[in-house]
Amino acid sequence: MLAGLAALCLTGCGSQIEFTWAMERVPKNLDPQLAWESPELIAVTNLYSGLFRLDETGEPVPDCAESYTVSDDGLTYTFTLKEGLGYTENRGNASDYKLTAADFVFALRRVYRAETRSPYTDIYAAIKNSAEVLSGAMDETALGVSAPDERTVVIQLDQPDPQLLYKLALPGAMPCNEAFFESTEGAYGLTRSATLANGSFYVYNWNDNGLFLRRPAGGDAVTALRLVINATGQSADSSGSSASAVQTLWGEALVKEGGATAALSEALTAEGLDSIPYTATTWVLLFNCGDETLAQPLIRQALTASALSAPVELPEGFAAADGLIPPAVTVQGENYREAAGSIRPSFGSASDLCREGLAALGVSRFENITLLAPEGDGYLQLAQSVNQQWQKELGAYSAYFPVKQLSLEDLNARVASGDYQIALLPLSLTSDSAAQLLGETAGLAAWNDSGWQNQLAALFADGTHTAADAAALERGLLESACAAPLWFQTKALLVQPGVEGLVFRPFGPVLDVTGASIPQ
Give DSSP secondary structure letters for 307-335.
Answer: HHT----PPTTEEE-SSSS-TT-EETTEE
Q: Does residue 245 or residue 338 have the better pLDDT?
A: 338
| pLDDT tens sequence across 162-199 | 999 999 999 999 999 999 999 999 999 999 999 999 99
Could you tell me the pLDDT band of residue 249, with boundaries at 50, 70 and 90? very low
Question: Residue 251's pLDDT is what?
Answer: 65
Query: What residue ranges do the domains of the chain occupy?
Result: 1-26+208-273+496-520, 49-189, 279-491
Work out the mean pLDDT of the chain and round it to a whole number.
Answer: 91
For 290-318, the pLDDT digits (tens) are 999 999 999 999 999 999 999 999 999 99
pLDDT tens-place string over residues 87-109: 999 888 889 999 999 999 999 99
How many other C-beta atoms are found inside a 10 Å radius of the C-beta of residue 426? 16
Fold of 49-189: Dipeptide-binding Protein; domain 1 (3.90.76)
- Given a cut of 90, whether residue 237 has pLDDT beyond it is no
Share of the chain above pLDDT 90, in %: 79
How high is the pLDDT of residue 270?
86
State the pLDDT at residue 520.
79
pLDDT at 263: 86
Task: Determine whether 137 is exposed, middle or buried from the number of CB atoms within 10 Å of its CB (0-12, 13-18, 19+).
Answer: exposed
> Which among 494, 487, 490 is positioned nearest to 316, based on CA atoms?
490
pLDDT band, residue 2 (cuts 50/70/90): very low
13, pLDDT greater than 80: no
For the stretch 253-290, pLDDT in tens is: 778 776 789 988 888 888 889 999 999 999 999 999 99
Give the count of alpha carbons within 13 A of 119, CB side only: 18
Burial (CB < 10 A; 0-12, 13-18, 19+), residue 208, is exposed
Looking at the predicted structure, is the pLDDT value of residue 9 above 80?
no
- Please report which confidence band the pLDDT of residue 10 belongs to, taking 50, 70 and 90 as the band edges: very low
279-491 classified as CATH 3.10.105.10: yes
Per the CB < 8 A criterion, the answer to whether 304 and 286 are in contact is no
Q: In the chain, how long is the greatest CA-to-CA distance? A: 73
Which residues does residue 334 pair with via DSSP β-bridges, in sequence order?
Answer: 331
Q: Is residue 510 a contact partner of residue 41, using CB atoms and an 8 Å limit? A: yes
Q: What is the mean pLDDT of residues 470-480?
A: 97
Give 108-151 pLDDT, tens digit per residue: 999 999 999 999 999 999 999 999 999 999 999 999 999 999 99
Residue 364 has pLDDT above 80, yes or no: yes
- What ranges in 112-258 are assigned the alpha helix state H? 130-135, 164-167, 178-183, 243-248, 254-256
pLDDT surpassing 80 at residue 210: yes
Residue 337 burial (CB < 10 Å; 0-12/13-18/19+)? Answer: buried
pTM of the predicted model, to two decimals? 0.83
Residue 465 and residue 14: Cα distance in Å, rounded? 51
Where residue 368 falls among pLDDT bands split at 50, 70, 90?
A: very high
Secondary structure percentages of the chain, helix, strand, coil, to 5: 30, 25, 45
pLDDT given at position 14: 52
Share of the chain above pLDDT 70, in %: 92
Mean pLDDT of the 419-424 span? 98
- 463 pLDDT band, cuts 50/70/90, is confident
- Predicted pLDDT of residue 465: 84
Q: Are 243 and 36 within 8 A, CB to CB?
A: no
pLDDT tens by residue, 325-351: 999 999 888 899 999 999 998 999 999
Residues 245, 251, 257: CA angle, nearest 5 degrees:
110
pLDDT at residue 460, rounded to an integer = 82
- Rounded to whole angstroms, how far apart are CA atoms 494 and 253? 10
